[in-house]
């Protein structure tokens, strides 16, 4: 098995790619707009896949190295985190979608063009990505930011970055009730609980930080509590004109439609 090392310390631009890419993927999966796939989505995915393949470095033995990228406007406490959750999530998503959309089993009119070599490289990249690191039963990035080293006191400012700490759930959408092993799903649910316990379901970055992720891993027993928490958060942050403000620069309601669809 070949394992890889991600070396570049700053990949903020990849976060922007993936914030754009998720709705584009959702659009195609819902509409099967083949022209859009071939002219817009697949070329974008191919470029991001090429970035990750050039970004990865093979290492010897059974060890791997994926230094934390410091993306998404902040770095976790200590800044020595390796195998960043968000990079593993985004690389997994792009390789999976490239292979799915170019699968030889698809009808030719729906299949995106890709060479055998390209597909072999995407499979190689996907197969050798490290697993999501876990510390104390939750995803490692969240464990560092939500629990201080001394006294295990929540650090609520950094803890609110669910968009990076929970990227595998959303926006990457590779962790969920229908697609994940019981152990991974349990870890995801526990991480969601820890993050939102630290920020009381109202992070400064907006609702996209916690609610889409929580909805994707919820079940019937937790759905009512999640809906109540979202209603409470909206009421607590709404102005008389209905505008919600939590310090997210006007982006607070990004993810609101996603949550509503997941509840349905």
Percent of the chain with pLDDT over 90: 24
Query: Average pLDDT of 49-65?
Result: 70
Give the single-character DSSP code of 110. Answer: G
User: pTM score > 0.85 for this model?
Assistant: no
**Based on the number of CB atoms within 10 Å of its own CB, is 156 exposed (0-12), middle (13-18) or buried (19 or more)?**
middle
Task: Let me know: does 56 contact 127? Beta carbons within 8 Å.
Answer: no
**Given CA atoms 227, 231, 234, 237 in this order, what sign does their dihedral have?**
negative
pLDDT at residue 251, rounded to an integer: 55
pLDDT at residue 11, rounded to an integer: 44
* Domain locations along the chain: 1-131, 154-264
pLDDT at residue 61, rounded to an integer: 54
For 65, the 3-state DSSP assignment is strand
């Amino acid at each position: 098995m070949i394992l890889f090392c991600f070396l570049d310390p700053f990949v903020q631009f990849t976060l922007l790619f993936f914030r754009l890419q998720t709705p584009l993927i959702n659009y195609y999966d819902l509409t099967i707009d083949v022209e859009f796939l071939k002219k817009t989505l697949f070329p974008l995915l191919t470029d991001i896949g090429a970035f990750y393949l050039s970004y990865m470095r093979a290492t010897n033995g059974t060890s791997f190295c994926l230094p934390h990228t410091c993306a998404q406007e902040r770095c976790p406490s200590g800044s020595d985190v390796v195998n960043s959750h968000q990079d593993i999530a985004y690389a997994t998503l792009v390789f999976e979608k490239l292979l799915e959309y170019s699968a030889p089993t698809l009808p030719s009119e729906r299949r995106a063009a890709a060479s055998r070599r390209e597909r072999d490289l995407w499979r190689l990249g996907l197969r050798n990505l490290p697993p999501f690191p876990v510390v104390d039963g939750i995803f490692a990035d969240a464990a560092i930011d939500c629990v201080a080293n001394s006294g295990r006191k929540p650090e609520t400012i950094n803890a609110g970055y669910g968009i990076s700490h929970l990227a595998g759930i959303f926006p990457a959408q590779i962790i969920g009730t229908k697609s994940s092993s019981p152990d991974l799903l349990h870890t995801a649910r526990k991480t969601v609980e820890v993050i939102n316990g630290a920020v009381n379901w109202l992070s400064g970055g907006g609702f996209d930080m916690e609610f889409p992720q929580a909805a994707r891993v919820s079940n019937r027993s937790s759905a009512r509590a999640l809906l109540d928490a979202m209603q409470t958060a909206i009421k607590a942050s709404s102005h008389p004109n209905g505008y919600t403000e939590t310090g997210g620069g006007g982006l607070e309601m990004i993810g609101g439609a996603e949550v509503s669809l997941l509840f349905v």
